[in-house]
Structure 1
Amino acid sequence: MKKTYFCLIAIMMLSACGDASHSKDYYADHEDEAIKVNNECRTASTLSENCKNAGDGLSEAHRRKWKAASDGYTKSAHTSIKAGI
């Protein structure tokens, strides 16, 4: 009987630990969720591992967008120079 109560209490405590923490790469791939978590963390003035990963993932997502945009610009500019435009 004591083991049953102990197990139930342990399960309840573990399930109450909060939201699952995601990695920076996860948030970089899921930008909408990163924005949501980042805003929640700023509103609550919290700095958990999940908050840090959301912020870092958001920065990584923006870096990827800028890199993709600049790579396209560089390629088109290089093509224009070769064509003499």
Structure 2
Amino acid sequence: MKRLIAIGCVCLGSVLLASCGKPVHSVDYYKQHEDERKAMLQKCTADPDLVTRDENCRSAADAQALSGSYTPSKPQKW
């Protein structure tokens, strides 16, 4: 019985810790908050691995592309 209670406490603690974290913002949020979008994009470009792991990086990049402030690179001539 004690073992079952201990396992239950560990599972409950794991669920509570997993729910803690940074809030995930939507693309619309980053469209409306330009300063936060720029800060997030700087943070994401500093750590390229973060782009694949962080939903906020993807939302900020999408908002940048959709906001019209995205500047495409020059076309390459091969």
TM range (shorter): 0.5 to 0.7
Question: 1 CA distance for matches of 2:22 and 2:44?
Answer: 12
1:12 to 14, 17, 29: 17
Question: 1 CA distance for matches of 2:60 and 2:44?
Answer: 9
Number of residue pairs matched by the alignment: 61
Partner of 1:58, secondary structure, is helix
1:49 to 51, 55, 63: 55
TM norm structure 2: 0.62
Question: 2 CA distance for matches of 1:13 and 1:30?
Answer: 27
Give 1:58 deviation, angstroms: 2.4
Question: 1 CA distance for matches of 2:45 and 2:66?
Answer: 18
Question: 2 CA distance for matches of 1:52 and 1:42?
Answer: 11
- Greater Rg over alpha carbons, structure: 1
Opposite residue 56 of structure 1, the aligned amino acid is D
Structure 2 stretches lacking a partner, 5+ long:
70-78
**CA deviation map 1:26-65 (0-9, x unaligned):** 100111111111100000112133212101212333x28x
Query: Which structure has the highest helix share of the two?
Result: 1
Q: Superposition RMSD on alpha carbons, in Å?
A: 2.0
Runs of 4+ in 1 over 6 A off after TM superposition: none
